[in-house]
């Protein structure tokens, strides 16, 4: 029993290592007035609207109840709220807002589980489709919007963040259009209390609007495809800027997790090589079947042989 237990320990440790360790390509790393519209449905089914005053950046987990591309209307039935470490049960409500992400409607449908990030008067600034509903952090298969506002990691435990460089010739108040962004991808893991900690740094890429970065590297089990659509940057980084009231800068990305099948295209080549190999010499399957002993025949032959031997001895 003890030997069997000891033999099982390395297998368990190996499984844990594949779950926690990052892909080989990653390297170890050392108050304004704001409004968000919320709709709640009473027991009678009537929609009751209210305004949340002065909300901080927040994120919710729920299921899509409406996604109308023609009108841009989008509704989510909220069931949980991000508390800084995980999604905790929350008073049921319905969040609705018009969406400006045209690409979003091509990838979503009613019933999908999503994570929504909200900020001040801009409303929804990020939304992602949950690809692993069993995980505490609700790993995403894709997201559109601002990755800095998204608490959930992508499948493979990837997290994306960025800093934006302003175009100082194109500013309004405290916000300038983003000339470029520096995007950083890392992998993370979680303590038993769900608190996040970094595992590895997978690289940083400078991107211009409409640039795409595919993080695929040899050996990756998963990777990300990152499209930087456009965005804003803080005017405070421009020479001679003055602190004024204004909208918080946000940027818009489309990011999706690419599975291991995409990351290992050599599987097809291996199959082709195997089919081109000559068939090994030896008995055919039919010959093997014909030569296979009949169940129970060996035992009968042994008993019969012993009986003959006894007869001979007695003679």
- Single residue among 104, 138, 172 that ends a domain in this structure: 138
Residues 202 and 256 occupy one common structural domain: yes
- Look at residue 302 and tell me if it is in a domain: no
Q: What is the pLDDT of residue 62?
A: 96
Residues 117 and 49 occupy one common structural domain: yes
Residues 168 and 205 occupy one common structural domain: yes
Residues 167 and 100 occupy one common structural domain: no
Nearest-angstrom CA–CA distance, 158 and 275: 37
- Single residue among 250, 271, 292 that ends a domain in this structure: 271
Question: What residues make up the domain containing 65?
Answer: 31-138
- Look at residue 121 and tell me if it is in a domain: yes
- What is the pTM (predicted TM-score) of this model? 0.66
Residues 160 and 253 occupy one common structural domain: yes
Reply yes or no on whether the pLDDT at 49 is more than 60.
no
- Look at residue 202 and tell me if it is in a domain: yes
Instruction: Work out the pLDDT band at 131, boundaries 50, 70, 90.
Output: very high
Instruction: Work out the pLDDT band at 298, boundaries 50, 70, 90.
Output: very low
Each residue's pLDDT tens digit, 218-236? 666 789 999 999 999 999 8
- 3-class secondary-structure state, position 2: helix
Mean pLDDT value of segment 57-65: 92
- Look at residue 35 and tell me if it is in a domain: yes
Which range has the worst mean pLDDT, 120-129, 181-190, 199-208, 248-257?
A: 120-129
Instruction: Work out the pLDDT band at 283, boundaries 50, 70, 90.
Output: very low
Residues 245 and 194 occupy one common structural domain: yes
- Look at residue 172 and tell me if it is in a domain: yes
Mean pLDDT value of segment 23-45: 46
- Look at residue 171 and tell me if it is in a domain: yes
Query: What's the total number of domains in the chain?
Result: 2
Query: Strand (E) positions, the chain?
Result: 27-28, 35-41, 47-53, 58-68, 73-82, 87-98, 113-119, 123-132, 139-145, 158-172, 175-190, 196-207, 212-214, 223-234, 251-258
**Residue 68: which CATH number?**
2.40.50
- Look at residue 285 and tell me if it is in a domain: no
- Look at residue 177 and tell me if it is in a domain: yes
- 3-class secondary-structure state, position 301: helix
Reply yes or no on whether the pLDDT at 263 is more than 80.
no
């Amino acid at each position: 029993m003890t030997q069997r237990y000891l033999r099982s320990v390395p297998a368990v440790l190996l499984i844990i290592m594949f779950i926690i360790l990052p892909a080989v390509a990653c390297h170890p790393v050392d108050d304004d007035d704001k409004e968000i519209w919320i709709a709640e449905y009473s027991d009678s089914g009537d929609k009751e609207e209210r305004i949340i005053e002065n909300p901080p950046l927040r994120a919710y987990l729920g299921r899509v109840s409406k996604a109308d591309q023609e009108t841009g209307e989008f509704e989510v039935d909220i069931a949980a709220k991000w508390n800084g470490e995980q999604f905790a049960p929350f008073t049921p409500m319905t969040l609705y807002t018009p969406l400006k992400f045209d690409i979003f409607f091509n990838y979503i449908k009613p019933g999908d589980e999503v994570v929504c990030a909200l900020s001040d008067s801009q409303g929804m600034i990020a939304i992602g489709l949950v690809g692993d509903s069993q995980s505490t952090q609700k790993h995403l298969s894709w997201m559109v919007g601002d990755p800095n506002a998204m608490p959930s990691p992508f499948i493979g435990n990837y997290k994306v963040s960025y800093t934006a460089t302003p175009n100082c010739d194109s500013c309004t108040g405290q916000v300038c259009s983003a000339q470029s962004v520096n995007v950083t991808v890392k992998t993370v893991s979680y303590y038993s209390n769900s608190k996040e900690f970094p595992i590895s740094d997978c690289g940083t890429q400078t991107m211009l609007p409409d640039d795409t970065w595919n993080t695929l590297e040899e050996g990756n089990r998963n990777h990300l495809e990152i499209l930087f659509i456009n965005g804003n940057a803080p005017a405070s980084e421009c020479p001679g800027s003055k602190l004024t009231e204004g909208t918080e800068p946000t940027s818009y990305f489309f990011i999706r997790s690419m599975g291991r099948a995409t990351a290992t295209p050599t599987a097809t080549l291996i199959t082709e090589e195997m089919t081109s190999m000559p068939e090994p010499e030896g008995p055919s399957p039919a010959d093997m079947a014909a030569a296979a002993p009949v169940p129970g025949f060996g035992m009968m032959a042994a008993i019969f042989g012993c009986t003959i031997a006894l007869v001979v001895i007695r003679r």
